[in-house]
Structures are given as structure tokens and as C-alpha cells.
Structure 1
Amino acid sequence: MSHSHTHDAHNHGHGHGHSHTPASFDRAFAIGIVLNLGFVIAEVSFGIAAQSLALLADAGHNMSDVLGLVLSWSAVWLARRPATSTFTYGFRRSSIMASMLNAVMLLIAVGMIAWEAIERLSAPQPAAASTVIVVAAIGIVINGVTAWLFASGSKGDLNVRAAFTHMLADAAISAGVVVAAIVTIYTGWVWIDPVAGLAIGGLIIVGTWGLLTESFRLSLDGVPQAVDQAAVADYLDGLPGVTHVHDLHIWSMSTTEVALTAHLVRPGASIDDAFSQAVAHDLDHRFGIAHATIQIEAAEHDHGCTPVRRSRHQDVSAAT
């Protein structure tokens, strides 16, 4: 919806009170890719030799993680590229796209695992349990170390959180493979291996669902889960002289940067850089919104849309 109207005054305040640039995880990505790629090759080789679906399933999952790490690292590189006349925000959103593709690849891997496991359940085959135990135990170490490399950034960046979660889940899954192999040795139940494959698939779905839904939300410019939209609206509504707020939009520019635009009606207000800068500063430090564009309007207009919030000052200003 477009609005054609004249503003008596408007300001654009951009607050960057503290850096939101994510820490560099280049070393972690490089080490993680090399370690996991080598492990995938080992798992495929020993999985075929041992006829273990659990190992092959885990190898497929680890391969999708390798591709996911490559994808995420590529997105990090793109996000560092400068803005252009066409891509005026730069390529920050590539990190959101990478997170979504990461989740989709994992779900495709789950489908492949489930299909093979169901076929194997109909005709169980014995697996070399001792080989499975050794290889999966190595996987626990490799995935655990890789997860540790990303641990420090797992809360601030969806891309890094995806890498951390996947690696940590892989370590747990490898532990499950070890347990399944030990049970097979003591019971002789050959169906344990395909059941373990199905369990791995289930764990992947559980671990991936949050990543998929959050990346989908961000790709559609939804308000990030970490931002309380109502609290932001209340803050803006309570600013001195503001009678109401409209056209409030909050979205993610990347997996680490949040942006906001809003129109604030302040009757009789003139251009006030200090006010705009103070608002941008508070949005940055209180809500983690580092890119805020605030437009000040000195008088109300018919915008053809419902205001985000009518101020508690509205009745007073209408009566004066």
C-alpha cells in the first residue's frame, strides 16, 4: 500500500551503539569441514564393509552437514561483501537463505534414511557390530570437537547455531549407534540396526525443525523470535510527545542483524537529531535492533491503515 502525503518534518536515526558484526568463525568452518569430510569417507567405507545401515545413515547425515557447513561459510563470506547499487543492503540475507537450505537438506536426508531403514526392517541383515562401535566412537569425538568450535557463537547467529546444533546432535547420534551395536552383540537382534537408523532420522527432524521454522520466518521478513514486537511498540508509544505510532516494521537483514522502520507522530515537533539518535540508541541496546530508521511526523495524516498503537497521550493532545 502506498501513501501519498507530505511530512512537516522527518528524521532518520541510525543507531550503532555497539557492534553487531559476528565474530569470525572461518577457522571453525575450515576445521569442521575437513574433519567431517574425512569422517564421512571412513563411515561410508566401513558401513558398506560392515553392512550397517546405522553407519551409512550417519554418513549421509554427516555429508549433509559438510555441505551445510560449506553453504553457511559461503553465506558468511557473501555477507562481508560491500553493498552495491543493486543490492543496497549488501548480501547479508544470504545467511538466512543458507540456514533454510541447510534445514531442507537435512529433511531430505531423513527421507532417504527412513526409506532404507523400512526396507532393511523387512529383511534384516547382520552387521559387523565391533566395526560399527569403533567408527561411531570416532564420530563422537569428531562431532564433539566441531560443535565445541562453534559453541561461543551459537546464541547470536542462526548460521552458527545451525552448525553447533548439528554437530552436537551428530555426537549424540553417534553415541546412539554405539549403543545399538552393543545391544546387537549381546542380544543378536539384527533389527536393532535399522531401528537405530529410524531413530537417527527422528532426532534429525527434532533438531532441525526449529532451524527450519526460524529461517522460514526470517526469509518472509517476520519479526525475529528474539525481539518482542509489543515491547518495542510500547517503548515507541511512550516516547515524549508521541501521540501514536504507525508503519512499524521489524525484520532481519541477516541472521545477526535486525532492522526497524517506524513513523512517530509528534504534533508540533521540529527536526530533532538528539531525539532520533536517542531512540536509535535505545532500540539498539534494549532490543538488539541496530539498524533503526525513525520518521517523525509533526501532524497526523490519514495513512489509510490502522496505527500500530494509540498513545496514552492521544486524548490529552486531542483536547488541547
Structure 2
Amino acid sequence: MGHDHGHSHDHHHHHHSLPSHNSAFAIGASLNLGFVLVEVACGIAFGSLALLADAGHNLADVAGLLLAWGAMALARRRPTGRLTYGLGRGTILAALSNAGLLLFGLGAIGWEAVRRLLTEATPIEAGPVMAVAAVGLVINGVTALMFRKGASSDLNLRGAFLHMVADAAISGGVIVAAGLIALTGWSWIDPVIGLAIVVIIAIGTWGLFRDSLDLALDAVPAGIDRAAVEAFLLDQPGVSDLHDLHIWSLSTSAVALTAHLVMPNSENTDAFLLELAEELHEHFGIDHSTVQIERSPCDCPLVSVHAAA
């Protein structure tokens, strides 16, 4: 920045190997692609719009799984001279795209359900429809379970998980709707249950969209309390002030931090910075920390603007 102050920098990174989940992605994509073909054939043969709608949603989920899988593969590649942080940010874009795909798919299903409520419903063969949907429930349920563990800590995997949960819920709705129609003869049950499922899934999907958009805009990750990080840094021995504290996501599983610490009487800064980076990782899950030490407060106007933002 061109200050007149003595500066010490530390770039400390925790390079953790990203789990590939290759088996889960390969199995999930293959099973769902095969099931799409089965649903299309059975939906046409048995006159079930619910099955055809589910097939369309399932096809979007295959694309979503492949997108998430590709992003995770790219994230494992090493940084280059041009892509100095690597391609980990692709996982954020994949999560955002998956959320968009889900919302689009839910909107299409909701639109079709409303249209069916306003027109005369087409009779369906409940038995075959329930059988096909039951297979879908098992396939999507098993696939969702393969992503469940990673979904709590990785937004990209959460997107894949939500896709599978959504499909499992829709398949379950098809089973319930077909069973009730067989008992009552009320064809309007099918679109009503479809609308209910759309609303329920949309709530969870909106959370995925909001969180992934936040990461794409370099917001502080949801699991990190910025105020707590600031208090922790100010509480370090010898630190009198700090400015330019930034915390953002490099990917859906890696967090970065930069900060300027004012330490008038700093000594042995290398050991201090190394220990600080370890504690930031241990307490806050920050993998990539860059800390600059200043002997006195900087009166640079650019820094003042940043500090006040």
C-alpha cells in the first residue's frame, strides 16, 4: 500500500484435502438418469402428468449433480500463476446455479399444478404410477443419504442433497396422490399435493439460494461471527487496534481472512503470526489467513474508507 510503517506479513494456509464424493456423484447421476427414462416411458403409457413432471425435475437434478461434481473436481486442482486461489470458487457458483435450477424446476411444477386445477384432470392408472414413484422414492432417498453428511458443512453438497430430497419428496407425493385418487376418484388431489410439496421444498431451496448468493458476493460465511473474530484479534497480546478486517469464502468449504493489526511494541512476529493463524483455524474454521502488522496506526485515506465501511 505504500505506507511508511514497518510491516510484517504472514500468509498461513491450512490445505485440507477435499473429499471427492466421486462414488456418490457417479451412483446418484447414473441412477437418476436411468430413472428419468423409466418415468418418461411410464408417464406416457399411464397418462400421468405427475410422473412426467417428476421426470423433468429429475433430469434437472442429473444436470445439478454433474455441475456440483465438476465444480468439486475443479476445486481440487492446484492454484496457478493466473488463478492464484485455484478454482475453488467454482463450488460457490455451482451451489448458486443448483439453487436456481431447483427454483426454476419448482416453478414449472407449480405452474403445471395450477393449470391442472383449472382444467379437467386426466384419469391415471394408480397402481403402475405408484409402483414407478416408489422406485423413484428409493433411488432418490438412497442418493440423498450419500450426500447428507457433507451437506451440513459444504454448500455445494447441500445443493446436491436438496435436489435429491426434493425428488424423494415429489415421488412420495405421487404415491400419496395416486393412492388417494384410487380410493376417492378425486383427480384434483394430485395437483394439490404437488403444490404443497413445491411450497415445502421452496422454503429450503430459498435458504440455499440466499447462502450461495452471499458467498458469491464475498459476504462473511454464515457460520462465522465477524464480531467474535474482531474481538479475538483485539484481545491478542500487544494488539492496540485493527482495521481492514475481511472474511470471505474461497470455496464452499474454505474461508479466508485478511487483517491489519496495530502492534506498537511487536516482537518475534513470526511466532506470533504462526500461532495466531493456528488459533483462527481452530476457533473459527478460517483456512487461509493473511495478517499485516503495523507499528503505528495508518492514516492512509484508502484504509480509513475501508475501516469505516
Calculate the TM-score normalised by the size of structure 2: 0.94
Q: CA deviation at 1:236?
A: 0.3
Deviation for aligned residue 1:140: 1.1
For the 8 Å contact 2:240–2:263, the answer to whether it is kept is: yes
Other-structure match for 1:232: 229
Q: Distance in 1 between matches of 2:19 and 2:149?
A: 9
Question: Is contact 1:96-1:218 (8 Å) kept?
Answer: yes
Deviation per CA, 1:40-96: give whole Å up to 9, x if none.
111121112222222222222211111100000110111122222221111110000
- Partner of residue 295, structure 1: 292
Distance 2:32 2:178 in 1: 22
Match of 1:169 in 2: 166
Q: Which amino acid aligns with 2:254?
A: E
Query: What is the count of residue pairs matched by the alignment?
Result: 305
Quote the residue 2:203 is aligned against.
Answer: 206
Asked if structure 1 preserves the Cα contact closer than 8 Å seen for 2:256 and 2:289, the reply is yes
2:90 to 94, 102, 125: 94
8 Å contact from structure 1 (residues 52, 193) kept in 2: no
Which residue, out of 178, 183, 189, partners 1:181?
178
SS of corresponding position for 1:230? helix
Q: Which runs of 4+ in 1 moved over 3 A?
A: 306-309
1:1-320 to 2 correspondence within 5 Å?
A: 4-16=2-14, 20-123=16-119, 124-270=121-267, 272-304=269-301, 305=304
Q: 1:165 & 1:110 partners in 2: Cα distance?
A: 12
Cα displacement string for residues 5-30 of structure 1 (whole angstroms, at most 9, x for unaligned residues)? 233121214042xx533212011100
Q: Is the 8 A contact 1:15 1:281 kept in 2?
A: no
Q: TM-score, normalised by structure 1?
A: 0.90
Q: Which amino acid aligns with 2:194?
A: G
Q: CA deviation at 1:174?
A: 1.4
Residues 275-296 of structure 1, C-alpha deviation per residue, up to 9 Å, x if partnerless? Answer: 0001100000100001000100
- Distance in 2 (alpha carbons) for counterparts of 1:26 and 1:307: 42
Between 295-304 and 3-12, the greater mean CA deviation after superposition: 3-12
| Cα offset, 1:254, TM superposition | 0.3
Deviation of 1:308 (Å): 5.8
In the alignment, structure 1 segments of 5+ residues that lack a partner are 310-320
What's the % identity of the aligned pairs? Answer: 53
Q: Deviations over 1:213-243 (max 9, x none)?
A: 0100000000000111111001001011111
Give the letter aligned to residue 8 of structure 1: G
Report the aligned-residue RMSD.
1.7
CA contact 2:113–2:191 (8 Å) conserved in 1: yes
Displacement of 1:199:
2.5
- Structure 2 unaligned regions, length at least 5: none
Cross-structure match for 1:318: none
Equivalent residue letter for 1:14? H
| Cα distance between partner residues in 1 of 2:2 and 2:78 | 33
Q: Secondary structure of 1:11's match? A: strand
Distance 2:222 2:207 in 1: 11
Report if aligned partners of 1:57, 1:113 keep a CA contact under 8 Å in 2.
Answer: yes
Please tell me the residue identity of whatever aligns with 1:120. R
Q: 1:307 to 1:74 in 2, by over 3 A?
A: closer
Instruction: Name the CA distance, whole Å, in 1 between partners of 2:201 and 2:58.
Output: 11
SS across alignment from 2:257: strand
